[in-house]
Copies of this chain bind each other. A is one copy, B any other.
Amino acid sequence: MRTRNPILNDTRRRAILVAASTCFVKQGFHSTAMKDICIAAGMSPGTLYHYFASKTDIIVGIIAADGEITRALLAPLADAADFLETLFAILDAIAADLTAEELALHTEIAAEILRQPALRAAQLALDGETQAMIADSLRTAQARQQIDRTLEPQHTAKLVLAVIDGLLWRATVEGVSALAVCITAAKQALARMLLEPERTL
């Protein structure tokens, strides 16, 4: 029994996730065959299954990768000169290169999570981490008097995520063309939620 090569393992897994994401975004999750992913990643089915146990397991990988991206996007909040301004910039960044196909995949993944308990567990864990990260940033911002100090951080973090979620869902339903309007509405909602009443924009 030879020992596993962690670097190769990581490289291959990333390559597969990239290939799979590309296919899923373009054709949809259920319309892409494993063969499609194999071709896109330049490997045989056997090799692919050496790195991922199933098509669903690839989604677990995508959820995890998305989680990392989300955390990287939100990182600037932790030490922002202005919390709300930074949050708004993040929203703009999220919207900047968002396509209808990406939103569609987002919905397909949501549906898959609802049907598969294993995925639900993975998603809940990641969501909890993101929430804690925002809650921490909120505490810092409150100490700096940038955010209404009467707000409970944990609960407020949940609301912030709910607003972002709602924004994405609305853009999904109404089409990417509605993104600008949705973002404006989301920003207004966030300002009212997070600032002290007398400081409302």
Contacts and interface: CB of A to CB of B under 8 A. Distances in A.
Nearest to A110: B107
A170 B163 CA distance: 11
Contacts of A31: 115
Contacts of A104: 111, 114-115
Contacts of A115: 28, 31, 104, 108
Interface string A127-148: 0000000000000000000000
A147 to B, nearest CB: 22
Interface string A9-42: 0000000000000000000101100000000000
Contacts of A28: 115
A121 B41 CA distance: 35
A98 interface: no
Interface string A159-170: 000100110011
A104 B108 CA distance: 11
Given A162-B170, A165-B173, A169-B169, A107 B103 contact: no
Given A108-B114, A166-B166, 8 more contacts: A31-B115, A107-B111, A108-B111, A108-B115, A110-B172, A110-B173, A165-B173, A169-B169
Interface of A: 28, 30-31, 100, 103-104, 107-108, 110-111, 114-115, 162, 165-166, 169-170, 172-173
23 contacts: A28-B115, A31-B115, A100-B114, A103-B114, A104-B111, A104-B114, A104-B115, A107-B107, A107-B111, A107-B114, A108-B111, A108-B114, A108-B115, A110-B111, A110-B172, A110-B173, A111-B111, A114-B172, A162-B170, A165-B173, A166-B166, A166-B169, A169-B169
